[in-house]
A and B are shown apart, each in its own frame.
Chain A
Amino acid sequence: MAAMQFETPPAPAEAAPPAKPFTRKFWKSVRDFPMLYLGALIIVLLILAAVLAPVISPHNPTTQFSDGLTESGIPVGPSAKFPLGADNLGRDILSRVLYGAQVSLLVGVISTVINLVLGVLVGTVAGYFGGWVDNVLMRVTDVILAFPLLLFAMALVAVLGPSLWNVLFAIGVLGWGTMARVVRGQVLAVKEFEYVQAERALGASNTRIMFRVILPNIIGPVIVLSTLNVGQNILVEAGLSFLGIGIQPPTPSWGNMIEAGMQTYQVAPWTLWFPGLALVIAVLGFNLLGDGLRDILDPRNTQH
């Protein structure tokens, strides 16, 4: 949703200043763009958590400890053995939150890559060729955009059967509409520029012009949108898992942990707090990074 700003006519690529050499004035740039670096830091930590989960988790995320539940079957709270408490089956929440990062990142990133490929392809072709090609592709995009992503993904996952790969596939295949629209708009603006016309006069093939000449010039908004998209897709996955049609147990995902927490939050609120907190921080990381990148790449949107 954060991509909305791009619905308004995009900034022409030539308006973007040459990227600053990051390495030179690192600290200055941290001071100039605190959001960007905070976002990047969060994402780095997230990646570390996901990659190192098997090493740093205190327990196996699926082991059901009998001392994770009280005698009457209530999850135990935070303790030395279970730093963030145990869940409704006596499993260690910290370990599950760490492993949950794997699922969120995997789904968020890969589905975004699928969005990106489809969106850029459709948007570029539509914008470049125009005419009936544009018309057909944009009506297809309209159809895709008419279905709210979560609801449509719910239906598709129901058809395919809930599993990690199907969730990933559904979000990837259904979520490219906004990207296509934004890319098309950018291409429309860029293709009239002289250097594009010049390439054409020199006899470059359409493919070359589209992907070698135009694409590099619109890469900024595409990167920003993709970054924000990762956060959104993580939320959609969590939503699906929360509804019970996403990642299936025993695989921990923050969404299905919150769903389980919904059953116990009154007697054991920590079952709800930590997976949700992890989810917010992760999504916030991508939103910060996306907004920060926008500030760098598109000065017109700068709000500072």
Chain B
Amino acid sequence: MSVFWKKGAAVAASVGTLALVLAGCGASSSNNTTGTSNTSSTGTNTAAGKPVEGGQVTLDMIQNIRDLDPALEFDTASNEIVSQMYDQLVTWKNGTTDIVPMAAEKYSISKDGLTYTFHLRKNMKFWNGDPVTAQSFIDEFYRVLSPNMGSGGQGFYEIIQGADQYAAGKTDKISGLSAPDPYTLVIKLSKPEAFFLQALTLPFASAVDKKFIESVGNHQVYKKNPTFDSTQAMGSGPFELQTINSNQIVLKKNPNYWRTDSYGQKLPYLSKITFNINNNDQVDALHFQQGQTAWIGWNFGGDGIPSSAYPQFMSNPNLKKLTVSAVQNSVQYVGLNTKLGPTKNKLVRQAIEYAIDKQAIIKLNNGRGKVANQPLPPGVVGYDNNLSPQAQYTYDPNKAKQLLKQAGYPHGLTIDMYSENSPDQVKFDQAVQGQLAKVGIKVKLHTSSWGTFLNVAEAGKAPMFWLAWIQDFPDASDFLNTLFNSSQAPVNNCTNYSNPQVDKWLNQAQYSDDQNERNQLYAKVTDQVMEDAAWVPIYYDVFTAAVQPWVHGFYIPKAGTDPLATIWIDKSHQKG
């Protein structure tokens, strides 16, 4: 459904050399791969042998790219591209949720959990030859935290000493960031935080070439910290931006990339990747069937095979064996703005909770998905198994009508709903529209392209909207704190939800290192948020990808985008 509003998602694509046990056979990722058959080349296909260098693939992409600037990009479509172009200090171990070093060769954390010291690789360069140093990372933190930038990642790094002052525009310096020498980066936190390393895997914490940005950046709007416009990029990652226009993005191999696989071959293997932006998912599915595109995966808005094409994949045995699926730590939800429109009224929001038939919507998605009862997916620690009765809603249109009457709308009301305009999404929107019509709520739909929709939603101006959230890292804070803390409104907390008690619990859980205590606090938050009905969680996703038999090294990461850097193609060795 490609409605994923997600944040910088983990960079599972760019896995450190250490993680590559058997390169090219990037073993079928997640334990919870419910997958059919053999697609993800789980080493069973050693016939394919040593990875082959070269070749190019074409992929379809269903959404346009909104941002190429790693300080700004915060959605699945942009993420697929940006992740290939930049390096971070640490990353996820191939298909797991363990952290491994990346740009940092090694790192240490002080006993009190406040000081992080990173020792960087010395051979890293940006595409233009400029060296990657500790300052390259510091520059990016300054950009992300800048009060003028409006980066969605700000909240992740305000815990760095002095960062909150800087972000508030009170100082010019972040005292917690220092580089004793060009290849050592020291980050001091104001409080210990259990998941700070995880936050460093995000593209927000990439190395950027400040000199380059200043030469090309948008100075008119952002004087101090210019941004890239959407046609420019300068990273140190495995793929370089070759061309970008409104319907196509071409990435080419960075020939000087530092990573190698276990055979000593340089990564990445592919010499060129072409993304065609193609809003028609039927055609996209057919391009795959005709062998024109290499796979349907994260490039489809983080959700894999579109629902209009899914039945065909399932009914055709030749296609079915090319698919692989996995439960994802993500949630699809309908957001109800707590500060705008009729949804300001809690009773209206609760009425909507009762009026939506989640099972019917899942059916429209060909049964892919599990009914959601809270923002946290079951795969994330902190999931609340004992929701309080006030926080539970079942499909009950009569109850909804009754609540609306109580709210002062005996004759119904009209609400504006915003969403992206992909065909699947429009279908879900109409289902919601039909279900709410039954209880007397007239829904006016406003659908637009991904970027345009986000502009409305992220400004907190959508009274009702459909979005999804995929974890950036598997910690409850990434869902609950990011999406419900009043300090995150409206960029991440698009419903403008604000409850001082919830803020207090969230802040307490954020800095606690007692996991039991954190779980209890998050359970309280979940109960309260659900009782306040800021969200109607619809379903947790089941991700289904389809991969050509000649594509090797593909896997569904536990978090993050397609593993482009370690994928290779060999048409003479086909799986299946």
Asked if A215 is at the interface (CB within 8 A of a chain B CB), the reply is no
Complexed CA–CA distance, A71 and B311 (Å): 11
Residue A64 contacts which of B282, B426, B434 (CB distance < 8 angstroms)? B434
Known: A69-B363, A72-B366, A73-B363. A263 touches B308 (CB 8 A): yes
Complexed CA–CA distance, A62 and B437 (Å): 10
- Identity of the chain A residue whose Cβ is nearest the Cβ of B437 in the assembled complex: A62
Complexed CA–CA distance, A260 and B282 (Å): 12
Taken residue by residue from 252 to 268, chain A's Cβ proximity to chain B (1 for < 8 Å, 0 otherwise) reads as 00000000101110110
Taken residue by residue from 418 to 450, chain B's Cβ proximity to chain A (1 for < 8 Å, 0 otherwise) reads as 000101001101110111010000001101000
Asked if B32 is at the interface (CB within 8 A of a chain A CB), the reply is no
- Identity of the chain B residue whose Cβ is nearest the Cβ of A264 in the assembled complex: B308
Q: How far is the CB of B432 from chain A (nearest CB, A)?
A: 11
Question: Does B366 lie within 8 Å of A248, measured CB to CB?
Answer: no
Q: Which of B443-478 contact A (CB under 8 A)?
A: 444-445, 447
Question: Does B430 lie within 8 Å of A69, measured CB to CB?
Answer: no
Question: Does A73 lie within 8 Å of B366, measured CB to CB?
Answer: yes
Question: Does B423 lie within 8 Å of A73, measured CB to CB?
Answer: no
Asked if B307 is at the interface (CB within 8 A of a chain A CB), the reply is yes
Q: What residues on B are CB-neighbors of A71 within 8 Å?
A: 363, 367
Residue A267 contacts which of B311, B423, B427, B430 (CB distance < 8 angstroms)? B311
Q: How far is the CB of B381 from chain A (nearest CB, A)?
A: 32
Taken residue by residue from 288 to 327, chain B's Cβ proximity to chain A (1 for < 8 Å, 0 otherwise) reads as 0000000000000000000110111010000000000000
Complexed CA–CA distance, A63 and B310 (Å): 24
Complexed CA–CA distance, A71 and B362 (Å): 11
Question: Does A250 lie within 8 Å of B430, measured CB to CB?
Answer: yes
Question: Does A64 lie within 8 Å of B360, measured CB to CB?
Answer: yes
Known: A62-B437, A69-B364, A250-B434. A74 touches B427 (CB 8 A): no
Q: What residues on B are CB-neighbors of A72 within 8 Å?
A: 310-311, 314, 366-367
Known: A66-B363, A69-B363, A266-B282. A89 touches B445 (CB 8 A): no
Known: A64-B360, A89-B364. A249 touches B282 (CB 8 A): no
Select the residue from B281, B366, B367 with max chain A CB neighbours within 10 A.
B366
Complexed CA–CA distance, A62 and B434 (Å): 7
Asked if B91 is at the interface (CB within 8 A of a chain A CB), the reply is no
Question: Does A89 lie within 8 Å of B427, measured CB to CB?
Answer: yes
Q: How far is the CB of A63 from chain B (nearest CB, A)?
A: 7
Asked if B365 is at the interface (CB within 8 A of a chain A CB), the reply is yes
Q: How far is the CB of A111 from chain B (nearest CB, A)?
A: 23
Taken residue by residue from 532 to 570, chain B's Cβ proximity to chain A (1 for < 8 Å, 0 otherwise) reads as 000000000000000000000000000000000000000
Asked if A178 is at the interface (CB within 8 A of a chain B CB), the reply is no
Complexed CA–CA distance, A246 and B480 (Å): 39
Q: What residues on A are CB-neighbors of B280 within 8 Å?
A: 262
Q: What residues on A are CB-neighbors of B311 within 8 Å?
A: 72-74, 267
Q: What residues on A are CB-neighbors of B282 within 8 Å?
A: 262-263, 266
Q: What residues on B are CB-neighbors of A64 within 8 Å?
A: 360, 430-431, 434-435
Q: What residues on A are CB-neighbors of B447 within 8 Å?
A: 244
Q: What residues on B are CB-neighbors of A69 within 8 Å?
A: 363-364
Q: What residues on B are CB-neighbors of A248 within 8 Å?
A: 444-445
Known: A72-B314, A73-B365. A249 touches B433 (CB 8 A): yes
Complexed CA–CA distance, A267 and B421 (Å): 22
Asked if A88 is at the interface (CB within 8 A of a chain B CB), the reply is yes
Complexed CA–CA distance, A71 and B363 (Å): 7
Complexed CA–CA distance, A260 and B423 (Å): 8
Known: A72-B314, A73-B367, A262-B282. A66 touches B433 (CB 8 A): no
- Identity of the chain B residue whose Cβ is nearest the Cβ of A72 in the assembled complex: B366
Complexed CA–CA distance, A250 and B445 (Å): 9
Question: Does A249 lie within 8 Å of B426, measured CB to CB?
Answer: yes
Q: How far is the CB of B217 from chain A (nearest CB, A)?
A: 31
Complexed CA–CA distance, A66 and B434 (Å): 12
- Identity of the chain A residue whose Cβ is nearest the Cβ of B363 in the assembled complex: A73
Complexed CA–CA distance, A62 and B433 (Å): 10
Q: How far is the CB of A257 from chain B (nearest CB, A)?
A: 12
Complexed CA–CA distance, A250 and B427 (Å): 10
Q: What residues on B are CB-neighbors of A260 within 8 Å?
A: 427
Q: How far is the CB of A156 from chain B (nearest CB, A)?
A: 17
Complexed CA–CA distance, A63 and B364 (Å): 15
Q: How far is the CB of A54 from chain B (nearest CB, A)?
A: 17
Q: How far is the CB of A29 from chain B (nearest CB, A)?
A: 48
Residue B423 contacts which of A74, A250, A263, A266 (CB distance < 8 angstroms)? A263
Complexed CA–CA distance, A250 and B429 (Å): 10
Question: Does B365 lie within 8 Å of A250, measured CB to CB?
Answer: no
Q: Which of A60-86 contact B (CB under 8 A)?
A: 62-64, 66, 69, 71-74
Question: Does B363 lie within 8 Å of A88, measured CB to CB?
Answer: no
Residue B434 contacts which of A74, A89, A266 (CB distance < 8 angstroms)? A89
Q: How far is the CB of A100 from chain B (nearest CB, A)?
A: 16
Complexed CA–CA distance, A14 and B440 (Å): 60
- Identity of the chain A residue whose Cβ is nearest the Cβ of B428 in the assembled complex: A89
Complexed CA–CA distance, A73 and B430 (Å): 15
Question: Does A266 lie within 8 Å of B312, measured CB to CB?
Answer: yes
- Identity of the chain B residue whose Cβ is nearest the Cβ of A71 in the assembled complex: B367
Complexed CA–CA distance, A248 and B417 (Å): 13
Complexed CA–CA distance, A79 and B363 (Å): 21
Q: How far is the CB of A180 from chain B (nearest CB, A)?
A: 35
- Identity of the chain A residue whose Cβ is nearest the Cβ of B444 in the assembled complex: A248
Q: How far is the CB of B355 from chain A (nearest CB, A)?
A: 13
Select the residue from A89, A244, A262 with max chain B CB neighbours within 10 A.
A89
- Identity of the chain A residue whose Cβ is nearest the Cβ of B424 in the assembled complex: A263
Complexed CA–CA distance, A241 and B137 (Å): 49
Q: What residues on B are CB-neighbors of A244 within 8 Å?
A: 421, 426, 447
Q: How far is the CB of A114 from chain B (nearest CB, A)?
A: 25
Residue B364 contacts which of A62, A73, A249, A262 (CB distance < 8 angstroms)? A73
- Identity of the chain B residue whose Cβ is nearest the Cβ of A268 in the assembled complex: B311
Q: What residues on B are CB-neighbors of A250 within 8 Å?
A: 430, 433-434, 437
- Identity of the chain B residue whose Cβ is nearest the Cβ of A62 in the assembled complex: B434
Question: Does A267 lie within 8 Å of B312, measured CB to CB?
Answer: yes
Taken residue by residue from 363 to 388, chain B's Cβ proximity to chain A (1 for < 8 Å, 0 otherwise) reads as 11111000000000000000000000
Question: Does A249 lie within 8 Å of B430, measured CB to CB?
Answer: yes
Complexed CA–CA distance, A66 and B141 (Å): 51
Known: A64-B431, A250-B434. A73 touches B426 (CB 8 A): no
Question: Does A88 lie within 8 Å of B427, measured CB to CB?
Answer: yes
Complexed CA–CA distance, A69 and B363 (Å): 8
Complexed CA–CA distance, A249 and B442 (Å): 12
Q: What residues on A are CB-neighbors of B437 within 8 Å?
A: 62, 250
Taken residue by residue from 212 to 250, chain B's Cβ proximity to chain A (1 for < 8 Å, 0 otherwise) reads as 000000000000000000000000000000000000000
Complexed CA–CA distance, A248 and B366 (Å): 24
Known: A64-B360, A244-B421. A73 touches B431 (CB 8 A): no
Complexed CA–CA distance, A266 and B445 (Å): 27
Complexed CA–CA distance, A64 and B360 (Å): 10
Taken residue by residue from 35 to 64, chain A's Cβ proximity to chain B (1 for < 8 Å, 0 otherwise) reads as 000000000000000000000000000111
Complexed CA–CA distance, A266 and B307 (Å): 13
Complexed CA–CA distance, A244 and B280 (Å): 13
Taken residue by residue from 86 to 97, chain A's Cβ proximity to chain B (1 for < 8 Å, 0 otherwise) reads as 001100000000
Q: How far is the CB of A291 from chain B (nearest CB, A)?
A: 36
Q: How far is the CB of B303 from chain A (nearest CB, A)?
A: 15
Q: What residues on B are CB-neighbors of A262 within 8 Å?
A: 280, 282
- Chain B interface residues (CB < 8 Å from chain A): 280-282, 307-308, 310-312, 314, 360, 363-367, 421, 423, 426-427, 429-431, 433-435, 437, 444-445, 447
Closest 9 CB pairs of A and B: A263-B308, A73-B366, A64-B434, A263-B423, A74-B311, A249-B430, A72-B366, A73-B363, A267-B311
Query: Can you name 12 A-B pairs with beta carbons within 8 Å?
Result: A62-B434, A62-B437, A64-B431, A71-B363, A72-B367, A89-B431, A244-B447, A249-B445, A250-B437, A263-B282, A266-B282, A266-B312
Other A-B contacts than A73-B307, A89-B364, A249-B429, 11 sampled, CB-CB below 8 A, are: A66-B360, A72-B311, A88-B364, A89-B434, A244-B421, A244-B426, A244-B447, A249-B426, A249-B430, A249-B433, A264-B308
